[in-house]
A and B are shown apart, each in its own frame.
Chain A
Amino acid sequence: MHALVFIKQVPDASQVRVNYETGTLIREGVPAILNPFEVHAVEEAVKIRQKFGGKVTILTMGPPQAADALKECLSRGADKGYLLSDRIFAGSDTLATSYALYEGAKKIIELEGEVDFFFAGKQAIDGDTAQTGPGIATRFNVPLVTYLIKLDEINLEEKYVIATRLTEFGQETLKVPIPVFFTVEESLNTLSHSPLPWLIKAAQSKIEILSGENVDLDKNQCGLKNSPTIVKKAFTPEKKQRGATLTGTFDEVVNQAAEKVAPFLNDAL
């Protein structure tokens, strides 16, 4: 079994503030963390390895500091971390990012062998697009299960999984052939406490760096220049006021509600 988890280092959302004038995030001085959804992706991959054997490889694209996020994945039980880092990738949108990660992943397959399970978080908390994972899956042309909340069954011999995902209306349980790409929800699993030897191994291990030169790249698909996404406007949604709570007997509440709503209807009709 080989699982490849795509992770991202993001600013700690609990400490990010919004500049209300420009609608942008103030990231300065905010510590970087492993995207919370991907913590659960790593956990799930490691759980599968503990059951079936094999290995868990991690890939991220980012600046050299992103190595810290990879090390955290190793301390959570992953076997090896790769950092795809090059100026050529700077300013990538989700299209260019999924391209770069796809090429990076192909390199990893070359080095580490075929992948059975691809994992990513359902989205990154600093962008919330939920596009990068599906973008990679599409390029690999493998089945995609987004918003994974449960792996009901894994059958490596017959090469299928039964997986449950969250939809807008409820849940959906699917039987999907392996290799498969999952993007995961936090409710997929509860995090376990890694044994100390894992942390020691992680601290001692080296992160493999892949530069643009190491992977087979079409430069015309990389970086800001080749990122068609245009952010037209960013704004902070106004905080909605909590609705009024009416109390009393049923009749009283209906009367109160009617009185409150009537003026609006008068205006509208």
Chain B
Amino acid sequence: MSNLKYDVIVVGAGPAGLAAATVLAKAGVKVIVIERGRFAGSKNVMGGVFYSDCMKGIIDDFPGKAPVERHIIDQRIWLLDNNSFVGFNHKNELFNKKPYNCHTVFRAKFDNWFAKQAADAGALIITRTLAKEAIIENNRIVGITTGRPDGDIKADCVIIADGVNSLLAKSLGFRKEIKRESVALAVKEVIGLDEKIINDRFNVKSGEGVTIEVTGSFFNGEAMAFIYTNKKSISLGVGMVVEDLVKNKINPNDLLESFKAHPSVAPLINGGETKEYLAHLIPEGGYKEMPKLIGNGVMVVGDAAMMVDAIHREGSNLAVTSGKLAAETYIEAAKAGDFSKKSLSLYEEKLKESFVMKDLKKYKGVPALLQHNKRLLQQYPKILNNAAFEILNVNGVSKHDKEKLLWKNMKQQIGVSNLIRDLFKLWRNVG
């Protein structure tokens, strides 16, 4: 039996766990972080756009020396059809003003840096160690077991930040095995290119970046893809709900290859060299699939708690914020020395007041809406692409006749009642 005892054990050194650990350590709390990877970030993947705002109160003057790539000034959305896309752009000089709103990052570097900040603040970061199970005594969690000899650790409180597959939350019965329709598998490639070529192709200066979010009929409305600019590379990837992958027998690698070969995508990455290939799960069940968040001596944060706002590609900022709120809750609870579920319910309250729960709640219907109304991202993008072509392609047909034809097509393909229904559902769920 080991006699390792800390105030708090954080399981997982991703953004959620590291935010919690940093806030705790800065407040003088004795905190140990257990991470299974060879170093923090070694196994972690995101697109990835990291939003600066969530670091307030955690790291002063973020980004400072943090390893960020480009700050984003131009965001694009593409509805992709087989040979075309209809797009929407927003580029704004306000995004060129410091502090920058968001940056692209590489998680392997970013998390490693974040872990060093937590360690400098006094947190103990232990890598290459798997957290296995919670130790429960008298109906409360008093520690965890790890995969190492003499590996039991005791603590007042355990913060579960072990990501989408959360072994711990499952072993506690806080949640069931994640449903296949509530989780997406994303594959991503990093393609190296000269900085100048990227600047030219995306019409930005060095340091400035572009993001493109992509969906539409090209993917049968069943996948989301992205193209993000880094300093000297482009991250590009595609994610699809596991249920759809299985049902349609789709290999995600093939999906990524066909995306890379699309006539609108290929010129952007032409001549580049694949530097990395990564894959990861994204919990997309949203609010309705969230597990229990607290128990006696335990709080769940980040992806482990399904805190991803999929339609806004936000996850890491929810993770960081929830980690911070859990840390603040611990600090409050420690004043009374009470780490019971009742005392830790402050965490739930804090979450409800923050954008995390407000956004997750607001978009709670979206995952199911998109899962069960494939035409939203399948037929409409196709119709839009056709419409754009019809209107822009000058061929002697009058605009009036073109509009009539388009409307006729729309009625045939979707039907007026469906159209009204879809608009109403969309308005209800995202409006």
Contacts and interface: CB of A to CB of B under 8 A. Distances in A.
B2 A196 contact: yes
A199 B108 contact: no
A203 B126 CA distance: 7
A29 B2 CA distance: 38
B151 A196 contact: yes
B148 A199 contact: yes
Interface string A22-39: 000010110101000000
30 contacts: A28-B275, A29-B106, A29-B275, A31-B39, A31-B42, A31-B108, A33-B38, A193-B148, A193-B149, A194-B148, A194-B149, A195-B148, A196-B2, A196-B4, A196-B126, A196-B146, A196-B149, A197-B4, A199-B126, A199-B127, A199-B129, A199-B148, A200-B32, A200-B124, A200-B126, A203-B119, A203-B124, A203-B125, A203-B126, A204-B124
A197 B4 CA distance: 8
B128 A195 contact: no
A25 B312 CA distance: 39
Interface residues of A, number: 16
Contacts of B153: 196
A29 B235 CA distance: 14
A75 interface: yes
Counting contact residues on chain B (CB < 8 A from A), the size range is: 20 to 34
Interface string B117-157: 00100001111110000000000000000111111010000
B276 interface: yes
Interface string A94-123: 000000000000000000000000000000
Given A31-B39, A31-B42, A199 B128 contact: yes
A243 B193 CA distance: 38
A200 B150 CA distance: 11
Contacts of B276: 29
A68 interface: yes
A195 B151 contact: yes
B3 to A, nearest CB: 9
Q: Which of A75, A195, A200, A204 has the most CB of B within 10 A?
A: A200
A193 B150 CA distance: 11
Interface string B1-43: 0101000000000000000000000000000100000110010
B2 A197 contact: yes
Interface string A234-252: 0000000000000000000
Given A29-B275, A29-B276, A31-B42, A195 B126 contact: no
Q: Which of B128, B190, B276 has the most CB of A within 10 A?
A: B128
A75 B128 contact: yes
Given A29-B276, A33-B38, A197 B150 contact: yes
Interface string A53-76: 000000000000000100000010
Contact of A195 (B38, B106, B108, B150): B150
A65 B12 CA distance: 23
Contacts of A26: 275
Contacts, number: 50
Given A29-B275, A195-B151, A196-B2, A68 B128 contact: no
A181 B259 CA distance: 56
Interface string A4-26: 00000000000000000000001
Nearest to A194: B148
Contacts of B151: 195-196
A205 to B, nearest CB: 12
B40 to A, nearest CB: 11
A195 B190 CA distance: 37
A68 B41 CA distance: 14
B259 to A, nearest CB: 22
A195 B150 CA distance: 6
Q: Nearest 7 CB-CB pairs, A to B?
A: A195-B149, A196-B151, A195-B150, A196-B148, A199-B126, A203-B124, A196-B150
Q: Which of B108, B119, B275 has the most CB of A within 10 A?
A: B275
Given A31-B42, A196-B148, A196-B151, 18 more contacts: A29-B190, A29-B276, A31-B39, A75-B128, A193-B149, A195-B149, A195-B150, A195-B151, A196-B126, A196-B129, A196-B150, A199-B128, A199-B129, A199-B148, A200-B32, A200-B124, A203-B126, A204-B124
A200 B119 CA distance: 12
A72 B276 CA distance: 25
A200 B151 CA distance: 10
Q: Which of A196, A200, A204 has the most CB of B within 10 A?
A: A196
Contacts of B4: 196-197, 200
A196 B127 CA distance: 10
Nearest to B124: A203
Interface string B265-294: 000000000011000000000000000000
B287 to A, nearest CB: 36
A192 to B, nearest CB: 9
Contacts of B119: 203
Nearest to B274: A17
A195 B129 CA distance: 10
A189 B275 CA distance: 34
Contacts of B42: 31
A250 B146 CA distance: 58
Contacts of B146: 196
Contacts of B147: 193
Contacts of A68: 39
B32 to A, nearest CB: 8
Contacts of A75: 128
Contacts of A29: 106, 190, 275-276
Nearest to A76: B128
Interface in A170-228: 193-197, 199-200, 203-204
A17 to B, nearest CB: 8
B194 to A, nearest CB: 13
